Chains A and B, each alone.
Chain A
């Protein structure tokens, strides 16, 4: 069975600092991995995804994530935080190659301080 663990329910950084949001997954099949962002009272927006191929994936708004199979990790990073990055971030793993169902982590709230 697939599962996702996001380490740290709240992360606070200063504007301009590195953003690092941690995600570890468990999957019995080669995983498809996703990061979504959610702003208050809105749905989730896809930031980036890993399916196959290059393990470093780039997404929107300057975010990127690296798939590390040996560490079962898919951490999200951004070199320089902006105030507009403050939101909730969810890591997700595909539940299997045929369903499209995603299993989400519990989320990490990113606070950006001026």
Chain B
């Protein structure tokens, strides 16, 4: 078990470009979450999957954001037409869960996005 992996660790992009991030969760975890963290703030929920189904999406997520988890394993988060306000750390986490269980997340190290 190598934990939750995120790629890339850092991404610098020009405003208006598209970017895609990847997250590989712990293999036996059925839930996968994306959070965004800006400097000096706690993580803010973006979206989560249970297996391949996207069950909830935050209103923070504009139409420029899309996430997938096609086979219930890894996930991608794409941001189209990036804006400077998208600059943040994007965190992925995974957990076992279902019903009333919540065992806590395992977080990846994050992808730091800088839009210039």
Contacts and interface: CB of A to CB of B under 8 A. Distances in A.
Interface of A: 4, 9, 32, 34, 36, 41-46, 49, 51, 90, 92, 94-95, 97-107
B31 interface: yes
5 contacts: A4-B42, A42-B109, A46-B105, A100-B102, A104-B43
Nearest to A52: B100
Interface in B64-114: 91, 93, 95, 97, 99-100, 102-110, 112
Given A99-B55, A100-B48, A105-B42, A43 B99 contact: no
A36 B95 CA distance: 15
Contacts of A103: 45
A102 B105 contact: yes
A104 B107 CA distance: 14
The 9 A-B residue pairs whose C-beta atoms are closest, nearest first, are A104-B42, A43-B107, A97-B100, A100-B97, A44-B107, A43-B109, A46-B104, A49-B104, A32-B102
B41 interface: yes
Given A43-B108, A45-B107, A49-B104, 17 more contacts: A9-B40, A41-B112, A44-B43, A44-B91, A44-B105, A44-B107, A51-B102, A90-B42, A97-B100, A99-B55, A100-B31, A100-B97, A101-B45, A102-B43, A102-B45, A105-B42, A106-B40
